[in-house]
Structure 1
Amino acid sequence: MKKLLFDLFPLILFFLAFRYADIYVATAVAIAAGIAQFIWLKVTGKAIEATHWINLSVIVVFGGATLLFHNDAFIKWKPTVLYWLFASILLFSHLVLGRNLMQKLMGGQVQLPAPVWSKLNLAWAGFFLASGALNLYVAFSGQFTESQWVNFKVFGLMALLILFVIAQSIWLGRHIQEPAPEALPGAADQESDK
């Protein structure tokens, strides 16, 4: 739970700053929070994951452009660029490099048949592509206010992610493989007792 809150720290501060100021102050706060978060990880010697690097880079580039050009379109593109970047990485590694990043990420926690890992990888890529497209619709269709977009960015995209993870967990539950008895801890001891 602490890790989740830590990862959401810049987003939470973005939301609060927007409520008390405007999109430009909120963007500056999100950039500062992202940099502070990164420095904290460095100073405390904690692992800096690839997602931290990607997220920091995207917020600095798109947030910086928002502030430099005083144009909120850049920050509104940020979630889409981030999600589409994740989708591209998943698809490129799977289709071109023959590597399944979801299996690499979750393989130590769950055993699945290779076709299920492929479907899982493609499902995450599809989720990121769809979420990015939905962000563009909410941000630029003219159907929503800036405040509604901020709420969608903070709460809507998070709710979609949680629903997707729940659906994925239910689906995965049907495909998890039980480890072979000899692979279980202590199995060798039980065999020697016979």
Structure 2
Amino acid sequence: MKQFIDFIPLILFFIVYKLEPRIVELAGHSFTFGGIFSATAVLILASLLVYGTLFLIQRRLEKGQWITLLACLVFGGMTLTFQSETFLKWKAPVVNWLFALGFAASHFIGDRPLIQRILGHAVSLPAPLWTRLNLAWVAFFVFSGCANLFVAFTFHEFWVDFKVFGSLGMTVLFLVGQGVFLARHMHEHSTESAAKSKD
């Protein structure tokens, strides 16, 4: 569920981006609503609202959420300041690669891979399987970042669609694959444990 909360600002961004730009009057001021720059402003505001609400409810944000919010503010802010969507195109690749770096670094920092620290309270697996699963997350984030970068600078007319629905689709598929992996190995692990207890 937490992964999909992160997509709320992106979906709002997509909706506004797809609108035909029009002049809107508000409080005596006129501005353009629709298109990349107003969509970027909506992305920033929605991110602040979503993560601000989560912070008020939970009294904390996860590190990944802080990274996502900070990247949104930095790259979104630069996009609006310099009126160039190039900065926003780099947001998804950079965030994904930072996540990949975090998962990879956990093999050398601390006593457990990052994915084990996240799921270890609910799932029991042998150490080698945690390592494999953690490396799978590293590979996923590296691939996702590269895919976003490639589409953003190669298929200009589709990059926003891919940023929202392509990223969401890849995440869903990966989570399904992770679920299958966990279910299969949890069953094997429980079977082995039961056999050992009988011995």
The runs of at least 4 aligned residues of structure 1 exceeding 6 Å deviation read none
Shift of 1:70: 1.0
Which of 175, 181, 189 is equivalent to 1:165?
175
1:68 aligns with 2:81: yes
* Count of residues in correspondence between the two structures: 177
CA distance in 1, matches of 2:56, 2:133: 35
- What 5-or-longer segments of structure 2 have no aligned partner? 20-33, 195-199
In the other structure, the counterpart of 1:38 is: 51
Shift of 1:94: 1.2
CA distance in 2, matches of 1:65, 1:169: 38
Shift of 1:36: 1.4
Q: What per-residue deviation string (whole Å, max 9, x for no partner) do you get for residues 109-140 of structure 1?
A: 11111000000000001000011001111011
CA distance in 1, matches of 2:5, 2:166: 19
In the other structure, the counterpart of 1:153 is: 163
In the other structure, the counterpart of 1:191 is: none
Shift of 1:9: 1.8
Q: What per-residue deviation string (whole Å, max 9, x for no partner) do you get for residues 138-179 of structure 1?
A: 0112xx133x11110110111111111112222222211329
Structure with higher strand content: 2
CA distance in 2, matches of 1:171, 1:57: 32
Matched position secondary structure for 2:169:
helix
Residues 106 and 114 of structure 2 are in contact (CA less than 8 Å); yes or no, is this contact kept in structure 1? Answer: yes
Q: What per-residue deviation string (whole Å, max 9, x for no partner) do you get for residues 11-63 of structure 1?
A: 11111110111111111110111111232233335542222211100000111
Read off the aligned partner of 2:100 and give its amino acid letter.
A
Which of 190, 195, 198 is equivalent to 1:178?
190
CA distance in 2, matches of 1:5, 1:96: 28
Q: Using structure 1 for the length normalisation, give the TM-score.
A: 0.84
Percent identity over the alignment is 44
Aligned-residue CA RMSD in angstroms? 1.9
- What 5-or-longer segments of structure 1 have no aligned partner? 182-194
